[in-house]
Each structure stands twice: as C-alpha cells, then as structure tokens.
Amino acid sequence: MAKFLIILLFFPTTAFAADPWTTQDTVLEGVYLGLLAIDCGQTIYRKQTFDTFQERNPLLRDASTDVFRATCLTLAILRPLFALWLDQPLRQMFQMTSIVIELYVVTENARIRPNIAWKLSF
C-alpha cells in the first residue's frame, strides 16, 4: 500500500495540471492519502472482525469488504487527479478541506469501541 501511495504522489505533472503542481500540493496530497489509507484500513478491519459493524456512510453501509476496498482504491486514484485539475488557490482549499474531513473520520473511527489495531487490512 505504501508503494501505491508513493506512486500516486509522483504521478501529477505540469503537463496535466491546470496550474503547476507544487511541493506543497504533494505534501497535502500525501497527508490526505495517508489519512485515507488509515480510514479504509480501520473500516475494513472492523468489517472483517465484527459482524455487527456498520459503516456510517449511508452509500457504503451495506457494501461488502471487496466493494469497500475497491471504493477506497478508486478514491485514492481519482481524488488526486481531481485536485490536479483544479486551479490554485481552489486546489489548496480542496486539499485542506479533504484533510480536515478525513482527519475527523479517522479520529471518530478511533473512538468507536472496541479499539482497533492500526494495521491496514488490504
């Protein structure tokens, strides 16, 4: 998974970008992708371990583990491409908003009992 995230961070180039991709964009994207990996790992671990666990997202509530895993991977690929398409400063606002939302989700997942292992279940 870590290799996949590194590849995603090096994919954006100025040939595809609306505005030049900066080092700050790469850092913000890396933070978001790291949080997304933790969020997906938390949810997949719970889905595989606890039969009564239900995802809070109503669109993914009844999704199987395989569907959820595919959704996470699709989001990890398409979201950086969408950020690449945006102009500055909209790109930076989008990245920061995404980080805040994902950080909230990860901390809420950590508060749900029983505590989970911080391993990725991909």
This prediction has a pTM of: 0.76
Cβ pair 122, 42 in contact under 8 A: no
Is residue 30 in a domain? yes
Q: Is residue 121 part of a domain?
A: no
pLDDT in tens, 47-105: 777 777 777 777 777 778 888 889 899 999 888 888 888 888 899 999 999 999 999 98
Other beta carbons less than 10 A from residue 37's beta carbon: 20
pLDDT tens per residue, range 44-61? 888 777 777 777 777 777
Domain hosting 84: range is 2-111
Question: Does some domain include residue 116?
Answer: no
Question: Is residue 118 domain-resident?
Answer: no
**Number of domain units in the chain:** 1
Closest CA to 112 of 64, 36, 42, 37: 42
